[in-house]
Amino acid sequence: MKFSYNWLKELVPFKESPKQLAEFLTMRAFEIESMEKRRGDVALDIKLPSNRVADASGHLGMAREIAALKGIRITKRVSRIKENKKQKVSEFLKVKIENSDDCLRYTARIMTDITVRQSPKWLRERLDICGLQSINNIVDATNYVMLELGQPLHAFDLEKLNRKPEKIKTITVRRPRKGEQIETLDKKIYELSPDVSLITDGDTPLAIAGIKGGQASGITEHTHTIILESANFDPMRVRAASQLLRLKTDASYRFEHGLDPNETVAAVDRLATLIQKLSEGKIVSGIIDVYPKKVFAQKIIFSVSDANRLLGIELDPAFYQKALTRTGCTVVQHRVSNKDRLVVVPPTIRRDLAIPEDLIEEAGRILGYEQISPQLPEFATVPAPRNDKRYWEDRVRDCAIGSGFTESMLYAFTSERELAQFFIDPATAPELANPLSPETKYLVPRMLIKYVSSTVENLRNFSVVKIFGTGKNFTALSKSLDEHNALVLAYGSRDIAGKREFYELKGVLAGMFEQLGIDDYGYGDVLTTEEHHHAAKLFHPYRVAHINIGNERIGMIGEIHPAILDEMKSRGRVVAAEINFDLLWKHAQDEVEFRPISKYPAVIRDIAVVVPENTKTEVIQDIIERTAGELLIDADLFDYFQDEEMRRGDIKNLAFHLTFQSPDRTLTDTEIEKLIGKIIAALEMQGWEVRK
């Protein structure tokens, strides 16, 4: 926002050069973004924080800020309004506000016998340096007072209001009617909606409240009687209307940040006296002031000891009383307390001063932050209680990364197209009321589909893709929304056979469960017809299993259905595990059993067994482990084989590494062969062929 250096200097007698003033304000108040020399003056482009627009968007407000920071007084201005006692404002105008929430205050004056002409040079130059174009003396006066006081104003041609014979005109602040339009001063036509507030003569729109005036009541060279408006409009409604109409003005910028309604009378009086000097007009006696809900200054109890603690410096109550008084506050001693407490009443224009901490910040700025020595805060450090869910998330993350997976954080939004690819009914996915695009129309019912999509996409550039992540599954119920955290691991490969990936992912899960202290996990078939049908929609119907911990089902693992991968034009197979993380971490435990590493060598033997196609690996491992006893410390599947002949015969070949070791002696070949013989006998009892 641009300010005139010369104008500020007229209002407050500082001695600093433009550069010095810019440095001073940047260190104490507002950042100066740029300076530009123009016609014997300097335009200061000052960046105002949003909470200071109410009091500092005008030159007088900025002058008050400079005066408070430097401890000097503002130059006194003597300006008395001269009214024409022969006429009363009530003989010309009445004001009606249909919704007091839309317009907090509406103040108006009437002027007669004005002359519309070009503004004097000094006024045109003042507007120009602040980035505004000169129109005529009346319009320029409204802009000048806005730049001076920060309060937007507007002038209407009274004779253009409601061209009926009634002598007393009416201004009505209301919402637009259906299909209503307005042509603004720049001759653009806007379609109006109920989100907009209008200034009307009852029927015809005269202005978009708080934003821009209309052509219907604009000031021309034929104007003789005018209405001067100084109002306060609801900031949220002004902002909504400005965004809806894509129309931003100097007035809307100020109103949407929230202005003090107690400033409207001073602004309209200042405008009337200025126009009187510029056009020799007469000010009608009296003022219209509709103020339904008055805003009063609020008391704040200020603690000197709290202020000293936060600022980190010892200052006496007298300093705070003087400093806060310089900012325009009224400060008195608390009657029922000691000198530590003060009662502070900020002016209503300082809307940023609402709590004691705001006042402490003001005192610090008055003192100067450079006067406060930096020091470390003193407080007791107490560790936060452990968040179990977050703790186990980190443990799972470490396990997945350690197994070669890369964490991927994906959006929890999906589209009808993506849901259709995975045969998911959109009715099960919660639909957003205001999606940013069709691709984000729904919350994702299964995060699994996002990780599969990402894996397929990455397979276009990589031969192997391993990603994982946690996210929320959202399911639309009849009257509510079900959501839970899901852990997804996806493994994609261009390998033609595509069978080792399933077992590798299964091994990753085994390692993860072990790291989480879970030993009673297992896998189960998709047994019921309904479950089988549901799982087969996403997974290969014969390469899918439930993941169980004890008797609780926590997720699924399987190969993604070939039909889905074909639809997505995948360049490889994808296997994935989907786990309800809210159930998983509740089974996890920190207790770990440590066993000493045996100093005796381990012996490894390989064994292969030909079994029917539907035989579970866990069943074979269980037989091997029960038969071998304690000397068998590990049994790992390392190969899966099935040629065309075996496929026709519905059989498969599984090969295992068997690791034997004793904690107290070296095992002999005789012992090992005896154990292998027992294992072979146990497997052959099942009718299976064993290949050593």
pLDDT digits (tens, 9 = 90+) for 322-357: 999 999 999 988 766 567 899 999 999 999 999 999
Chain Cα centroid distance, residue 460: 34
Average pLDDT score over residue span 251-264: 97
Higher-scoring residue by pLDDT: 475, 487 = 487
| Sign, Cα dihedral of 461, 467, 470, 474 | positive
pLDDT of residue 53: 96
Burial class (CB in 10 A: 0-12, 13-18, 19+), 35: middle
- Taking only the tens place, the pLDDT of each residue in 122-179 is 999 999 999 999 999 999 999 999 999 999 999 999 999 987 667 899 999 999 999 9
Distance from C-alpha of 682 to C-alpha of 680, rounded to nearest angstrom: 5
Distance from C-alpha of 404 to C-alpha of 467, rounded to nearest angstrom: 9
Higher-scoring residue by pLDDT: 641, 120 = 120
Q: How confident is the model at residue 302 (pLDDT cuts 50, 70, 90)?
A: very high
Average pLDDT score over residue span 229-251: 96
Token pair for 341:
């407490």
Distance from C-alpha of 100 to C-alpha of 18, rounded to nearest angstrom: 44
- Name which CATH class applies to 83-290: alpha beta
pLDDT of residue 111: 97
CATH topology for the 2-70 domain: Phenylalanyl-tRNA Synthetase; Chain B, domain 1 (3.30.56)
Give yes or no for residue 386 having a pLDDT over 70: yes
pLDDT of residue 17: 96
Domain 300-371 falls under CATH 3.30.56.10: yes
Higher-scoring residue by pLDDT: 528, 26 = 26
Give yes or no for residue 527 having a pLDDT over 70: no
H or E element, residue 418: helix 416-421
Average pLDDT score over residue span 33-39: 93
pLDDT of residue 534: 55
Token pair for 378:
């003193």
pLDDT of residue 529: 46
Question: What dotted CATH number matches 388-587?
Answer: 3.30.930.10
Distance from C-alpha of 291 to C-alpha of 310, rounded to nearest angstrom: 39
Burial class (CB in 10 A: 0-12, 13-18, 19+), 593: exposed
Where in the chain do CATH 3.30.930.10 domains reside? 388-587
Q: How confident is the model at residue 692 (pLDDT cuts 50, 70, 90)?
A: low
Name the percent of the chain lying above pLDDT 90. 71
Distance from C-alpha of 223 to C-alpha of 139, rounded to nearest angstrom: 12
Q: How confident is the model at residue 68 (pLDDT cuts 50, 70, 90)?
A: very high
For the ranges 59-68, 508-517, 576-585, 658-667, the maximum mean pLDDT occurs at: 59-68
Average pLDDT score over residue span 208-215: 96
pLDDT of residue 530: 53
Token pair for 71:
């401890």
Pairing of strands 31-38, 481-493: unpaired
Give yes or no for residue 479 having a pLDDT over 80: no
Q: Which residues make Cβ contacts (< 8 Å) with residue 644, sequence separation at least 6?
A: none
Where in the chain do CATH 3.50.40.10 domains reside? 83-290
CATH of region 603-691, choose from 3.40.30.10, 3.30.70.380, 3.10.129.10, 3.40.640.10: 3.30.70.380
pLDDT of residue 594: 66
pLDDT of residue 208: 97
Distance from C-alpha of 309 to C-alpha of 304, rounded to nearest angstrom: 9
Whether the Cβ atoms of residue 361 and residue 351 lie closer than 8 Å to each other = no
pLDDT of residue 345: 96
Q: What is the mean pLDDT of the chain?
A: 91
Token pair for 212:
């821009």
DSSP string, 474-533: EEE-SSSEEEEEEEEEEEEE--SS--HHHHHHHHHHHHHHHHTT---EEEE---SHHHHH
- Give the side-chain half-sphere CA count within 13 A for 12: 22
Where in the chain do CATH 3.30.56.10 domains reside? 2-70, 300-371
Higher-scoring residue by pLDDT: 275, 587 = 275
DSSP string, 294-362: ------EEEEHHHHHHHHTS---HHHHHHHHHHTT-EEEE-TTS-TTEEEEE--TT-TT--SHHHHHHH
Give yes or no for residue 385 having a pLDDT over 90: no
Distance from C-alpha of 463 to C-alpha of 667, rounded to nearest angstrom: 43
Hey, which bits of 175-310 come out as E strands? Answer: 181-183, 189-191, 198-200, 205-208, 212-213, 226-233, 282-285, 288-290, 300-303
pLDDT of residue 207: 97
- Taking only the tens place, the pLDDT of each residue in 269-300 is 999 999 999 998 999 999 999 999 999 999 99
Give yes or no for residue 368 having a pLDDT over 50: yes
| Sign, Cα dihedral of 321, 324, 326, 329 | negative
Distance from C-alpha of 148 to C-alpha of 662, rounded to nearest angstrom: 93
Residue 637 to residues 495, 607, 612, 656, 686, Cα–Cα distance (Å): 19, 10, 16, 4, 19
**End-to-end Cα distance, the chain:** 86
Stated pTM of the model: 0.63
Q: How confident is the model at residue 448 (pLDDT cuts 50, 70, 90)?
A: very high
Give yes or no for residue 249 having a pLDDT over 80: yes
